[in-house]
Amino acid sequence: MKMFVAAFLMIVMLIFCASSHAEKPKKGFLHGPYLTLEMGAIQMDYDTDQVSGEKIGRDFEPAFGFLFGWNLNDNFSPEIQGKYATNFKSGRRLHVASANVYAKYTFIIDPLVDFKTLRILPFLKAGMAFRVAVLPGNRNATKNTITQMGWGPSPGGGIAFLWKKYFLFGIDLQGDLLIMNDIRQTVNGVPGTLVYQGGFHPAMSAMAILGVHY
């Protein structure tokens, strides 16, 4: 959490420091769609069985996904993103899938784009996050798997590198501010027993991106 906040603040500082020396660059070089694959980690630290105290997975799970966006102009682009993570422990598996929609603003700063083959593109974005987690049920309950859902706002930022016009790579940092539902089961004959705690669960993620820009 602290590392995510520190990295995010560093990106914001880079944007504002560089903007103070910005000149008007050539227009139109960033128009068009882009598609990337992503690999990294997402936060999943609310998967503790409240009855048994058993921790199902890790605080941060390895994840992969995709991101598709379309630069309507050099600065603004809508994006959709999907991510997936899983963990297998003691014969029990969890699945986490998330979908995000964003409005992204890319800062076109002359000192960072005035290279022959490379453009450095810091960005900020904001949108909504939706998450579905399929978790193991309590060992003394009748259902083996249960589903927890959540949604909330999602700010983010990062740095992209565009090489030779088409090759896109970089890092994408996000913070999904999720509101998750409580999960209750009948455990040892007692209905309505709280198994997984809902409420406010911030879920940070850091993803490396690799793809193409058309």
- Number of domains observed in the structure of the chain: 1
Token pair for 36: 């990337």
Render pLDDT for 129-179 as a digit per residue (tens, 0 to 9): 999 999 999 989 888 899 999 999 999 999 999 998 889 999 999 999 999
Residue 27 domain flag: no
pLDDT tier, 22 (very low <50, low <70, confident <90, very high otherwise): very low
Token pair for 122: 């810091």
| 69: nearest Cα among 25, 127, 16, 12 | 127
Residue with tokens 């309590």: 138
Residue with tokens 């009748």: 142
Q: At CA 9, angle to CA 149 and CA 1, rounded to 5?
A: 40
Q: Tell me, what's the pLDDT at 176?
A: 96
Residue 28 domain flag: no
Domain of residue 73 covers 2-22+33-213
Q: Is the dihedral of CA 35, 36, 41, 47 positive or negative?
A: positive
What CATH code is carried by the domain that includes residue 87? 2.40.160.20
Render pLDDT for 31-58 as a digit per residue (tens, 0 to 9): 999 999 999 999 998 888 899 888 888 8
- Which has more pLDDT, 88 or 207? 207
